[in-house]
Structure 1
Amino acid sequence: METTTAPAGEEVEVEPGVHLAQLAAGDEMSIQHLRMEPGSRVPEHDHHHEQVGFVYQGEQTFVLDDDTVTVGPGESYWLESHEVHAAENRGDETLLAIDVFSPPRPDPDWLRE
């Protein structure tokens, strides 16, 4: 068994106001922490990973084709592999969420930038 502590000092700002921290990664999945300041945005993208997440503070609005879905505290979400999406914090509160990816993302692009 391995453990990982949330590395607050090791967050990477991937877009203005969008901070990610890589947490544990195993053979079949990985987990990361997401912090988005009000007004911040993750541009439209897709990836081959399935993504599930859980919001525990604030709200995250997903932009999917011609639809938007807002997820708030205590809610979880699932994005299919290759599902095109963007994410925004349209609220007044900092968003805090956990994302899990399968297959794992032990070395995501944002860690190399």
Structure 2
Amino acid sequence: MELIGTERESTEAIDGVHLAMLASGEAMSVQRFAVEPGASVPPHSHPHEQTGYLVAGTLTFLLDGEERELGPGDSYVLAGGESHGVENRGEDIVRGIDVFSPPRENPDWAE
């Protein structure tokens, strides 16, 4: 078992969107994210299955022309190849955790 400390440097992958890889194994990876007010991730897809959990704030998911608003305590699952984007339309920073399988390389966030 590898123990990893809580202090991980984040990368601003997109303006106002900060990501930090927390742990990565052979079958999955875990990262934390912070999305500043007004920031967004444009619709995109990747081969990784993605699950996540919102810790703080409200995030609007854009899925195939539909919008879904998630808040603290909500979780989600996105299939590999599924197009998705997010927007922080609120006034607070949105914080959460994402898990990817297979693991994402750090940083491959532009894919």
**TM range, smaller chain:** over 0.9
Equivalent residue for 1:24? 23
Equivalent residue for 2:12? 13
Instruction: Report the Cα distance in structure 2 between the residues aligned to 1:80 and 1:108, rounded to whole angstroms.
Output: 20
Structure with more helix by fraction? 1
Task: Report deviation, 1:110.
Answer: 3.9
Equivalent residue for 2:73? 74
Instruction: Report the Cα distance in structure 2 between the residues aligned to 1:59 and 1:91, rounded to whole angstroms.
Output: 7
- Over the matched positions of the two proteins, sequence identity in percent amounts to 49
Q: How does 1:40-79 map to 2 (within 5 A)?
A: 40-79=39-78
Q: How many residues align?
A: 110
Could you tell me the TM-score, scaled by structure 2's length?
Answer: 0.92
Task: Report deviation, 1:7.
Answer: 3.1
The Cα RMSD (Å) is 1.4
Unaligned runs of 5+ in 2: none
- The amino acid across from 1:35 in the alignment is A
Equivalent residue for 2:103? 104
Unaligned runs of 5+ in 1: none
Task: Report deviation, 1:73.
Answer: 0.3
Q: SS at the partner of 2:91?
A: coil
- The amino acid across from 1:2 in the alignment is E
Task: Report deviation, 1:6.
Answer: 3.1
Structure 1 contact 7–21 (Cα < 8 Å) conserved: no
